[in-house]
Amino acid sequence: MSAARVLVSNIMMLNEKERFDTEIRALGHEPVWVAVDQFLDEARCLELVGEIDGWLAGDDRITRPVLQAALPRLKVIAKWGTGTDSIDKAAAADLGVPVLNSPGAFADAVAECALGMILMLRRHLGSIDRAIRAGGWPKPQGQELRGATLGLIGHGAIGSRIGDFARALGLQVIFHDPFVAGSIDPLDLAEQADITCLACALTPENTHLVNAAFLARMPAHALLINVARGPVVDEAALITALQEGRIAGAGLDVFETEPLAADNLLKTMEQVVLGSHNANNGLRAVEAVHANTLKNLVSVLGRGSGAQAP
């Protein structure tokens, strides 16, 4: 098989361009490197497709018009990571372009970060650290985890792993997931949970699932943790709930707009722990996804005529 042209637009491989330039060429294919900030928007995608055979994609806005413009050459999209919500999968299926990802790869990494945010908030670890650095010596009373109830929105690979870790620490676990037996209504979960943790994929059905009505059902002492996708939460409603003290705090690794704007009010709130959409970035998980993404590419394109022996 002759060499294919492969567009590389995911941040993780771009961060190690020299390494993956060598690895893609060793597969017998020609990498096409582009500058990316967070992701490629639709307009930039339209400029780049049409003469590529494979795509090692990040969170690029791969819409139906982009897919149509990519044909007839595009044979596969190998998405780096697990989430494919930025890709019009219905259009890809209609047009015969397989979309392959790495489901479940980040379960441990993301679960660890979710637990870390919970501990930071329940034991005030972040605020104590900041106060000591500023010359203080505070002793706020924290809340142990044993006996508390964790409510999970999403009970797939990541959600179930968070639940495993939580049970090991003595928490009770309830969950909402319409695809898993034992699911409870999300508003009932909001009422019962001391900590609500979002670990679901983003879909049209759960966009802004956590809205003003959901937040109003949460106890005043409750925490919200989001390691899923930003748009699952109505951020304006969350900010209002935090300002008014209607929930106790939030740990957020993802946001409706990323990176977080300089004037976003969440940055001013002591009861909020902020992340940089980085919960998945564990060494073992990243290396596994690197390998699987290239495997997915080769599963469709094969190896080029100049490929090195595996």
How do the domains of the chain map onto residue ranges?
5-103+283-301, 107-274
Model pLDDT, residue 264: 98
Model pLDDT, residue 55: 98
Q: List all residues 6 or more positions away from 145 whose beta carbon is below 8 Å from its beta carbon.
A: 118, 119, 122, 166, 169, 170, 171
Is residue 297 within 8 Å of 78, Cβ to Cβ?
A: yes
Which residue among 122, 161, 229, 290 is the active-site one? 229
How far is CA 190 from its chain centroid? 22
CB crowding 54-65: b at 16 or more within 10 Å, else e? bbbbbbbbbbee
- What's the pTM value of the predicted model, to 2 decimals? 0.90
Domain 107-274 CATH superfamily:
NAD(P)-binding Rossmann-like Domain (3.40.50.720)
**Does 209 score more than 90 pLDDT?**
yes
Is 277 a residue of the active site? yes
* Average pLDDT of the residues in 198-203: 95
User: pLDDT digits over 94-135, tens only?
Assistant: 999 999 999 999 999 999 999 999 999 999 999 999 999 999
- Is 107-274 the same fold as 5-103+283-301? yes
Model pLDDT, residue 179: 94
How far is CA 306 from its chain centroid? 36
Which residue among 29, 122, 124, 277 is the active-site one? 277
**Which conformational region is residue 135 in: left (phi greater than 0), alpha (psi within -120 to 50 degrees), or beta?**
left
Q: Are strands 149-153 and 5-8 parallel, antiparallel or unpaired?
A: unpaired
pLDDT bin (cut points 50, 70, 90) of residue 28 is: very high
| CATH code assigned to 5-103+283-301 | 3.40.50.720
Supply 274's token pair: 């902020």
pLDDT bin (cut points 50, 70, 90) of residue 309 is: low
Which residue among 244, 258, 270, 287 is the active-site one? 258
pLDDT bin (cut points 50, 70, 90) of residue 310 is: low
**Does 307 score more than 90 pLDDT?**
no
Is 246 a residue of the active site? no
Query: Which has more confidence, 310 or 40?
Result: 40
pLDDT bin (cut points 50, 70, 90) of residue 308 is: confident
3-state secondary structure (DSSP) of residue 171: coil
Q: What share of the chain is helix, strand, coil (3-state, %, to 5)?
A: 40, 15, 45
* Average pLDDT of the residues in 238-249: 98
Model pLDDT, residue 2: 74
* Average pLDDT of the residues in 165-183: 97
User: pLDDT digits over 60-97, tens only?
Assistant: 999 999 999 999 999 999 999 998 999 999 999 999 99
